[in-house]
Structure 1
Amino acid sequence: MVGKVQVDGWNASLYDKEHSFVSHLGGELVQWLAPKPGEKILDLGCGTGDIANQLSKQGVDITGMDKSENMVEQAQKKYPDITFIVEDAVNMRYSNEFDAVFSNATLHWIKTPRQALQSIYQALKPGGRFVAEFGGKGNVQTIIGAIMNQLGEVGVPYQSEKFPWYYPSIGEYTSIMEQVGFRVTHAEHFDRPTPLNGELGLKNWIEMFATGMFEGVTTETKEVIVTRVEDSLRTGLFRNGEWIADYKRIRVLGIKE
């Protein structure tokens, strides 16, 4: 966009190449969604469009939305027949528009959950459903702890505003859902150890998802920290030639009444 100065930190190519597991693991969530042909559904945080494409093939009238222009551009190239838009979940313009809002691995990036849930609630038709999965309390705690420890070792103090995620407990999140107006019909908080791709899996994961924690750190220092993080976690998280991230997920289903 001409004149836009905001930097989009999402590397869509790296996402597709090394982190396709994000979409792959969303398959179970699609079962919770139980889409029907002809339904109008919003894929909130659609990334590069793989799940939106799956839903389109099932006869759904799908719209993919992501805050990242890079992700939406990649999605549109891959799936030119699907509508993808750049928009922020907390300020959606929709009202009583969708039969369902679906969101996979997105809501832990939104640190203002009430605003996001109000926006989602407004976008749904009466009786519409909200189906989401995202990082919950304790998600990647081992990895985050190692990064913070190594940042401290080089004299970089912890600043909460640099922590890029919101990882709530199931009680915290479903309470906000109810306050906004949803009837929560299903909710889970579960462990899901997640394989990362190969020897460089942890490094690529940090590069893709945790760069916000390194704001103000030089490239050289960051490389040293990442190497030390790998060394400190290898015994616990590296098995049979691949890294296993300590994911803990929340999955919810709510109805707009």
Structure 2
Amino acid sequence: MNKPVESDDIWDANLYDGKHGFVSKYGNNVINILEPNMGESILDLGCGTGDLTKTLYDLGVYVTGMDKSANMIDQARFKYPDIPFQVGDATALPFDETFDAIFSNATLHWIKSPEKALQSIYHSLKKGGRFVAEFGAKGNVKTITNSIEKQFAMLGLTYQQERFPWYFPSVGEYASLMELVGFKVVYASQFERPTPLEGGNGLRNWIEMFGKMMFIGLEYETIQKIITGVENDLRDTMFQDNSWIADYERIRVKGIKE
């Protein structure tokens, strides 16, 4: 039922659902900060394959799921046909004071124009509406990405920093951006969250799922050498009890549109 992966759509919805369920599992804690009320209109921004959208739907809210990846949205529609899902860009939301709340889990670190995204989110909320999000913070997966850069160097390859796929701000930096666009920041926290990656191939699966942009233009065999080198480099420090533990660092924020 899924579309083939397009050249500009890096997301493998089946791999995401099969090997990275922790994304949705941890997102349930963010819903507690959202405190959804029955009958509210809520946008799940960066909904992936829709698991947290379904959680919100079951709580009795009028929820819409949105993701930039058509592959993810196809999967979400297949899994949850009763919920409205649409493809969309967080920096150009097609809404005008529409939602009581906008919720986002593990998405905003993919958006390298954070102020533009926040302006779009702010515009899409009703007056008094709230924005609640969790995403990667400064230092997130730094051990992993440092090792990837190291493997590039060991193979005589140039690591191109512009292909680093993420925006990882400090909590102070992001809270300041929220205030700049008009939000009243009522909660902001940064914390370590060591995250198990499922199985002996967990680190490899994580890199192949989330780090593809760093390897654009490389041959398959070269990519595999890099990933194997990262596994060998980090096994002593990150592989515990037959599981890889990723060095996640997270931000949680809540803002009110005054």
TM-score normalised by the shorter chain: which range applies? over 0.9
User: How many angstroms does 1:7 deviate by?
Assistant: 2.8
Residue by residue over 1:44-73, the C-alpha shift from the partner in whole angstroms, topping out at 9 and shown as x without a partner, is 000000000000000010000000000000
Residues 1:31 and 2:28 aligned together: no
Task: Name structure 1 gaps, 5 residues minimum.
Answer: none
What secondary structure is seen at the aligned counterpart in 1 of 2:187?
strand
Q: TM-score, normalised by structure 2?
A: 0.97
User: How many angstroms does 1:159 deviate by?
Assistant: 1.7
What secondary structure is seen at the aligned counterpart in 2 of 1:166?
coil
Residue by residue over 1:181-227, the C-alpha shift from the partner in whole angstroms, topping out at 9 and shown as x without a partner, is 00000000000000000100000000000011111111001101110
The amino acid that maps onto 1:183 is: K
Residues 1:115 and 2:116 aligned together: yes
User: How many angstroms does 1:156 deviate by?
Assistant: 1.9
The amino acid that maps onto 2:105 is: N
User: How many angstroms does 1:155 deviate by?
Assistant: 1.9
User: 1:7, 1:28 → 2: CA distance?
Assistant: 31
Taking a change above 3 Å as real, the CA distance of residues 89 and 162 of structure 1, as seen in their structure-2 partners, is: same
User: How many angstroms does 1:158 deviate by?
Assistant: 2.4
User: 1:141, 1:100 → 2: CA distance?
Assistant: 32
- Name the % identity: 58
Residue by residue over 1:80-110, the C-alpha shift from the partner in whole angstroms, topping out at 9 and shown as x without a partner, is 0000000000011101000000000000000
Aligned to 2:224: 223
Residues 1:41 and 2:42 aligned together: yes
The amino acid that maps onto 1:132 is: A
Aligned to 1:93: 94
Residues 1:211 and 2:212 aligned together: yes
User: 2:23, 2:208 → 1: CA distance?
Assistant: 15
User: 1:9, 1:160 → 2: CA distance?
Assistant: 18
Residue by residue over 1:122-156, the C-alpha shift from the partner in whole angstroms, topping out at 9 and shown as x without a partner, is 00000000000000000000000000110111122
Aligned to 1:153: 154
The CA RMSD measured in Å over matched residues stands at 1.3
User: 1:221, 1:158 → 2: CA distance?
Assistant: 13
Aligned to 2:165: 164
After TM superposition, the runs of 4+ consecutive aligned structure 1 residues lying more than 6 A away are: none
Aligned to 1:127: 128
Task: Name structure 2 gaps, 5 residues minimum.
Answer: 1-5
User: 2:100, 2:174 → 1: CA distance?
Assistant: 22
Aligned to 2:3: none
Residue by residue over 1:3-58, the C-alpha shift from the partner in whole angstroms, topping out at 9 and shown as x without a partner, is xx753110000000000110011011000000000000000000000000000000
User: 1:183, 1:222 → 2: CA distance?
Assistant: 44
User: How many aligned positions are there?
Assistant: 255
